[in-house]
Amino acid sequence: MTFVDDLQWRGLIQDSTDPDELRKALDDGSITFYVGFDPTAASLHVGHLMQVLTASRLQRAGHRPLLLVGGATGQIGDPRESAERTLNPPEVVEAWVLRIREQLAPFVTYDGENAAIPVNNLDWTGPMSVIEFLRDVGKHFPVNKMLARDVVRNRLESGISFTEFSYQLLQANDFYQLHVRNGCSLQFGGSDQWGNITAGVDFVRRRGAGPVHAFVTPLVLKADGTKFGKTEGGAVWLDPAMTSPYAFYQFWINSDDRDVSRYLKYFSFKSREELEELEKATAERPQARLAQRALAEELTALVHGAEEARQAVAASQALFGRGSLEELSAETLRAALSEAGLFTVRGELPPAGALLKESGLVASANEARRTITEGGAYVNNERITDGEAVIPESALLHGRFLVLRRGKRTFAGVEIVK
């Protein structure tokens, strides 16, 4: 199976400018490609992983990545369907560029014959005057074609600024500049970027350069039609300070059975044979959630490292009594308890029954006593039998945490603050 065959089997090519020429370019030798990320926040999120990991696949197949973090386009903003974007100050965008560059680094290699190169479109857009931009770029863009773009057409009634309207020109010029400067002959991105990307292909041709190629990956949606990468708490970020490695792991482990096979094809580096075997094993033992576990472990290790992945797995098991809580780091334990519900106790610890009630695991003191006498209450995975007993300080994990559990699967956390 060729590299392009593998991309197609995984469903990673939704549209391309010329399928036959794209196949020839990718299967017959090494080319230089680029993918862009606009710094519209301090971190990338899981919605960006499709592009990040596809770039990694291309490099592993022998192609050279240009990873563009848009210091210029990030100050403008690609038009949204809903309303005009709020423009961030240049110094904020500049700081986000550096942070996102660091996030991208672990997914590629900067050594070897096809070493990745970080690029910033502010380097060529910043020095360009308005006259140069209008003459050298704007002259090549028929307004009727720009108006035909779905997001622009949908915004005409509510209003769209010239700033956002011009975004397509900036991105198209990026492709031309990278073609001239770095020999870039391929751009890829998400399917929502198809109009911008094909505008860049056309612009390169109009400037007498090329040929160049493009493809887009599909929009990732959940089986229920909701947006991928969103939880009740908001976006799932790649920055561990914004989404803990444990919460990141839980996002993937909770994948719907209808979605997980597709997610594995998109995001896993396992071979086709491995994925088909995993799919078969999952179908035979669906209760074991083998596919979800494989997906969560692989992606957590890719994004946060093998040790954080190990801690996330250990925490997931230990909280339900299938592992040692003492082996978990304070950071992992706190993150896991925060996901379940972590409440703070100041001063002395109340009796065990009161802790169950205050944590929300039971609704009343009577229910707490009944749960304990029936053998359904645990502190740090140890069954408790006396609701009036006070937990000794020696039982505190890392000197400040307790894990309360009712039954097999309902738990909460306590943090002691002196």
376 touches 406 (CB < 8 A): yes
The model's pLDDT over 158-191, given as tens digits with 9 standing for 90+, comes to 788 888 888 999 999 999 999 999 999 999 999 9
- Residue 115 makes CB contacts below 8 A (sequence gap 6+) with 64, 109
The runs of H, that is alpha helices, within 36-159 are: 49-60, 90-104, 122-125, 130-132, 143-147, 150-155
Question: Looking at residue 233, what is its pLDDT?
Answer: 67
The model's pLDDT over 286-338, given as tens digits with 9 standing for 90+, comes to 998 999 999 999 999 999 999 999 999 999 888 887 888 988 999 999 998 88
Give the type of residue at 70: G
Cα 400–406–407 angle (5° rounding)? 135
The model's pLDDT over 16-48, given as tens digits with 9 standing for 90+, comes to 999 999 999 999 899 999 999 999 999 999 999
Closest CA relative to residue 336, chosen from 249, 208, 210, 236 = 249
pTM for the whole structure: 0.90
Could you tell me which residue, 18 or 154, shows the higher pLDDT?
Answer: 18
Task: Round to whole Å and give the CA distance between 414 and 311.
Answer: 20
